[in-house]
Structure 1
Amino acid sequence: MDELITDILQQLRTNSQSALDAHQLEALLRAHSGGTRSTSRTTQIPKRALLPYFLQAKDQNSELWQSWNITPELEARFIRSVRMKPRRSASGVATITVITRPHTCSSNCLYCPCDLRMPKSYIANEPACQRAEQAFFDPYIQVAARLRALHQMGHSTDKVELIVLGGTWSDYPISYQYWFVSELFRALNEWPASPHQSKKRLNWYHSLGLHHTEEALAAFVAPQQEAITAGTTSYNQAFHQLYDTSQPHQNAWAHMSATLDDLYKQQQKNETAACRVVGLVIETRPDTITAANLKLFRQLGCTKIQIGIQSTRQEILDANLRHMTTTQIKRAFSLIRLYGFKIHAHMMINLLGATPQSDKYDFDTFITDPGYLPDEVKLYPCALVEGTQLVEKYHKGAWLPYSKEELVDILVHDVLAAPCYVRISRMIRDISSTDILVGNKHTNLRQMVEQHLTSEDLAGRVQEIRFREINQQQVQADELTLQEYAYTTAVSDEHFLQWVTTDNNIAGFCRLSLPHWDKLSAGMCDVAADELAVQPGQAMIRELHVYGQALSLGTEGISAQHQGLGQKLLAYASTLATDAGYTSLNVISSVGTRAYYRAQGFIDAGLYQRKELQ
């Protein structure tokens, strides 16, 4: 291993302008395998082992480290050369997904999985769920493990977006919500010591009598899970039978409680921590959205809400036992928007009662009706999973899955229809093919869609954000153009400001929201002005993001980050708000970005940061 790293460093010194490409690195790996390409597959040093060994030498073997004679610039190029899964931080931040503990759900949708090992709607075989289960759903342990994995793959963890999944966040006790988020922050604040602390926490769960082997977990839920599959009990009923009588779980869950003051202490530490939270996402349902809940979300530090819409058509919602109205959904959108959150909506294709044509119409409605207009969409097909109420509909012939061709056709339509301010983040759920009885099992559905767009010469028409992200592309600020796209919602005028390259790739953007204060104050909207946490005359920046491989805080790079693009977006947004007659500008900042906004003239103002406009 030492010789291999020495050779890589030598090649980097010879070619001092860039990192090694994949072919150059593969050639070096083969050269140190002791065999030919055909025989070296079992003996070749794996790429994933390079960076952990390199970093371990830096931390623990000063003699070896000094012998390599590594400058900071050379170290950065080495990491770029051997980094695993570079797209994970290509958006400019490192993303960490965590799962809340099993809990009942106040809804019971037709298609929703009922795995008692998980919070409702999730399945134990999903990757994030597997990690959570091994961590006893402890948020601290989950974050510490992901930090270590990202670090070993060569990703900067200075800027972290936390995504909290678990069905319906608002159904959990408030004291649990405070505790869960406090522990997320604590794990980041205590890095790099948090993996060591995780071992103590794991031992504590074991001491309570909890186990996380596959055999023990499956056996624990087996009788109740069989009853759900047979249709003789519901998830909520089985949950109470199982967990209410489990003393180890009750003992563990009794400790999962904290106060708002506990949370604030961890948030304050995170403002200057080595790993700062630059985004916090939670998941809930439209019918749980209230002004009180949104204020709580802001106290937690939340900046984006994942919300399950599934459809804009009432008959489809009713058929799938999605017990809410389109009026409720639109009001939820209005409230979320006016509180400054980014709206990440979930929509499902192929629900009971839908057709390929009606699904296209549904998406068109979603991106044109002023009551909706999301910022981000998770768009995925319905699949048949054991234990759901949809199984009976399938056996009766009432529901059938779409073909691969039909799915691709719908998704191509949706991608082409999406406006420039919408990001389609996902096209599948991470459900294992072994858990899907019937339905899409193609994990590369997005790739199929993009290949179709390319083969039909349609890629140039795509405006959707994810398709246009610069990822690891190197850009200079003077090569970019600032474009403005304005649109009107039921409660605001929205301005999407984007930095684009000559070929329309996006390097950064800002979402400026100008509320219709005259209509809100006059009671002409589905939300009243006195329900809000901001005052008439105030505008809101709901998101500011600049792309590029995640760089360490305070460092310079030639990605889009660190070139003043964010400052210019803020300045332009301030001018737009001023010209429109607004008196001040709020920003829904994350805990880890508060210092940045203070430097731009914003002051702390309750749930937001604010700047007075001239």
Structure 2
Amino acid sequence: MNDLFATIIKEAIRRKIKSSESFDELKKEICGHFGVTAPRNANIRDFYEQSLALGNSKDFSRGRKKAELLLLKKILKSKNVRTLSGVAVVAVLTKQYPCRGKCLYCPTEKEMPKSYLSNEPAVMRAITVNFDPYRQVQKRLRALEINGHDIDKIELIVMGGTFSDLPKKYQYNFIAECYRAANNYSLDVRRLKNQRRRTSTLLREQKRNETAKHRIIGLTPETRPDTLDEKEINFYRELGATRVEIGVQSIFDDVLKRNRRGHDVAQTIKATKLLKNAGFKVSYHMMPGLLGSNFKKDLKMFKEIFSNPDFQPDLIKIYPCVVTRNSDLYKLWKLGKYKALTNKNAEKLICEIKKFVPPYVRISRLIRDIPATSIVAGPNISNLRQLIQNKGIKCNCIRCREIRGNYTTKDKITLNRIDYNASGGKEIYLEYVSPDHRKLYSVMRLRIASPYRRPTSTKKKTSDVNGFAVIREVHTYGKLLNLGAKNKNSPQHAGLGKKLIIEAEKIAKKEFNCQKISVIAGIGVREYYRNLGYKLKNTYMTKNI
């Protein structure tokens, strides 16, 4: 098979193939000659990468320009969208464990994490390795790598329900293993399937990750609003978390009660404020179509979270309520006591939401990744985003404006600023955009925080975000570049993030008389901030200004 791969690669370079279509035709031609089935591009690319790494590529790289070799790698890449937001997203699942929630709609499948089904793609990947965090991370990195994606900058999403309800020792070890998996990942991983396991500590693996080849630059757990207090938020910082996804679902107490959520809207408001004052990005999970709600009420809910300073999430995931067989809602649906949201109404609702979503909010998802075969009633269209795009709805959310792969060095880029009040503090949102604001290159969130103190039970002093400015996010979009790599065709090469940080420092000092500024930096970007004059103090990168 390796001879076949080498033949295809050599011929593609010789003919100067420039498109995926031409490459597919070449594969068919060569495989027809050999009388074999055409291999997947991922397998060809894997062979190509290994040959380059082992120095066995002379036969097909001799005398070729670097640009020609890079073009071939680009052609072999699949699913560019996986890293066009500037990071490689790796989702891992925790094991099954009891959750304090008794939610009416929650699918409760035996031996599965609460609210997850065994046939969801991310769950299926976790099952194959028995929910082992180390193997989950390495397998996902491997899958991204063989499909041509750069994996040096990793955004780790920890799924599996209410993370805070897991035993603390399990949480600690789970995250430590995720860091260790990233630290140990290399080209050798494809040949060493059973690496020798050894125990390690979270702090040790975090320190390694600061300068590792594959760095975790963001970490996101998901939890319920009633689990979050100052002590828990402090623990999240020790883990290296930079964003928290909260299962808000609704902001109406009557709806929350009918669906047995077990918390009220006041707890959502409190959790949001605590997280923002600690520098976290806040993502809401919202669930239209719940028992006791309706189209008008759902629309009002989204308008409220975007306009009321008590809420103002940075990101949202919209998960329309669906009926699954192993939920208590299924019983009500069978009795005719619950009417699910239809595909048509779900599409109509989200079209309306997209008309007023603020430009500083990112709609991360429009529908949950539950297979249609598991949905008894409720929205079951997996391509909802595409259907809405086809309607020509203009959406100002971050995701819809991300530059992705459309950047050129000739692009005109301007700085835009939006100020708004949220959770008792002042938010300054900066973005580099095109003159018409339709192309988004880089963003930054600066918060002039209201006081946030660590719980008195800890030995650490008052948090480093008490009484001064905290940068909650710096993110440059476009094609993900490996650490230290240069590519004039990616905004990540333009230094936009650094410019935004300098601008934030000026604003904090001149407009708010702040003496210092902190960044809730992911473990993998601490070195970046050190190079800008920041120092690690407790879990924040801090600088006197």
TM-score interval, smaller chain: over 0.9
2: CA distance, partners of 1:191 / 1:91: 22
The equivalent position to 2:280 in structure 1, one of 337, 341, 348, is: 341
**2:153 is equivalent to residue 155 of structure 1:** no
Distance change in 2, residues 1:59/1:194 (3 Å):
closer
Alignment partner, residue 77 of structure 2: 83
1:291/1:532 contact within 8 Å kept: no
Alignment partner, residue 526 of structure 1: none
Give per-residue Cα distances to partners, 1:339-368, cap 9 Å, x unaligned.
Answer: 101111100111111111111111111111
2: CA distance, partners of 1:587 / 1:395: 51
The equivalent position to 1:599 in structure 2, one of 526, 531, 539, is: 531
Alignment partner, residue 570 of structure 1: 501
Alignment partner, residue 383 of structure 2: 444
Distance change in 2, residues 1:196/1:332 (3 Å):
farther
Secondary structure in structure 2 of the residue aligned to 1:450: helix
- RMSD of the TM alignment (CA)? 2.3
**TM-aligned CA deviation for residue 194 of structure 1:** 4.6
Distance change in 2, residues 1:61/1:553 (3 Å):
closer
Distance change in 2, residues 1:71/1:532 (3 Å):
farther
Secondary structure in structure 1 of the residue aligned to 2:38: coil
Long gaps (5+) in structure 2: 454-459
**2:518 is equivalent to residue 586 of structure 1:** yes
1: CA distance, partners of 2:47 / 2:191: 19
1: CA distance, partners of 2:465 / 2:140: 40
Distance change in 2, residues 1:72/1:189 (3 Å):
farther
Give per-residue Cα distances to partners, 1:240-271, cap 9 Å, x unaligned.
Answer: xxxxxxxxxxxxxxx9xx8xx81000000111
Secondary structure in structure 2 of the residue aligned to 1:420: coil
Alignment partner, residue 457 of structure 2: none
**TM-aligned CA deviation for residue 483 of structure 1:** 0.4
Alignment partner, residue 24 of structure 1: 22
Secondary structure in structure 1 of the residue aligned to 2:420: strand
Distance change in 2, residues 1:194/1:267 (3 Å):
farther
Specify the code of the residue in structure 1 equivalent to 2:145: H
2:450/2:467 contact within 8 Å kept: no
**2:542 is equivalent to residue 544 of structure 1:** no
Give per-residue Cα distances to partners, 1:273-323, cap 9 Å, x unaligned.
Answer: 110111111111000001001111000000010110001111111110011
**2:114 is equivalent to residue 120 of structure 1:** yes
Which structure has greater helix proportion?
Answer: 1
Distance change in 2, residues 1:608/1:336 (3 Å):
same
1:141/1:195 contact within 8 Å kept: no
1:6/1:68 contact within 8 Å kept: no
TM-score (norm 1): 0.82
TM-score (norm 2): 0.92
The equivalent position to 1:512 in structure 2, one of 435, 443, 446, is: 446
2: CA distance, partners of 1:531 / 1:440: 49
2: CA distance, partners of 1:581 / 1:200: 53
Q: Within 5 Å, which residues of 2 pair with 1:30-41?
A: 30-34=28-32
Alignment partner, residue 556 of structure 1: 486
Give per-residue Cα distances to partners, 1:144-188, cap 9 Å, x unaligned.
Answer: 111111111111111111110010111111111110011001111
**TM-aligned CA deviation for residue 74 of structure 1:** 3.4
The equivalent position to 1:413 in structure 2, one of 349, 352, 355, is: 352
Alignment partner, residue 233 of structure 1: none
**2:416 is equivalent to residue 483 of structure 1:** yes
The equivalent position to 2:133 in structure 1, one of 135, 139, 152, is: 139
**TM-aligned CA deviation for residue 26 of structure 1:** 3.2
Q: Within 5 Å, which residues of 2 pair with 1:46-125?
A: 46-60=40-54, 62=56, 65=59, 68-70=62-64, 72-125=66-119
Specify the code of the residue in structure 2 equivalent to 1:539: A
The equivalent position to 2:405 in structure 1, one of 451, 463, 472, is: 472
Give per-residue Cα distances to partners, 1:56-79, cap 9 Å, x unaligned.
Answer: 322456265565545544333221
Alignment partner, residue 456 of structure 2: none
Specify the code of the residue in structure 1 equivalent to 2:543: K
**TM-aligned CA deviation for residue 25 of structure 1:** 2.9
Distance change in 2, residues 1:477/1:142 (3 Å):
farther
2: CA distance, partners of 1:597 / 1:44: 47
**2:190 is equivalent to residue 190 of structure 1:** no
Distance change in 2, residues 1:531/1:394 (3 Å):
farther
Q: Within 5 Å, which residues of 2 pair with 1:248-397?
A: 262-397=201-336
Distance change in 2, residues 1:592/1:65 (3 Å):
farther
Specify the code of the residue in structure 2 equivalent to 1:172: L
Specify the code of the residue in structure 2 equivalent to 1:491: G
